[in-house]
Amino acid sequence: MSYAADEDAICQRAAVFVEKILKGAKPAELPVEQPTKFEFLINPRAAKALGLSIPEAVLKLADGTVE
């Protein structure tokens, strides 16, 4: 299981920063941002390999599964 920042959202925000830098902004003057969107992902195959069973209620809470 993983609960982490959404990688797509991070890449999109990085592109915005790159654009600002290419237009002349000084990197030291750009604000630091924290992620605002997070994902809860489950890898059922890894759980099975470890001999773990994931309750159906937890699977329903997940944003997605990774195979």
- 42 contacts 1 by C-beta, under 8 angstroms: yes
Q: Where are the domains positioned within the chain? A: 2-65
**Res. 67: pLDDT tops 90:** no
pLDDT of residue 24: 97
Q: What does the pLDDT look like over 17-46, one tens digit per residue?
A: 999 999 999 999 999 999 999 999 999 999
CA 59 to chain centre: 18
Identify which of 60, 17, 9, 14 has the alpha carbon closest to the alpha carbon of residue 38: 9
- Under the banding of pLDDT at 50, 70 and 90, the label for residue 59 is very high
**Strands 64-65, 2-5: pairing kind:** unpaired
CA–CA–CA angle 8, 10, 11 (5° rounding): 65
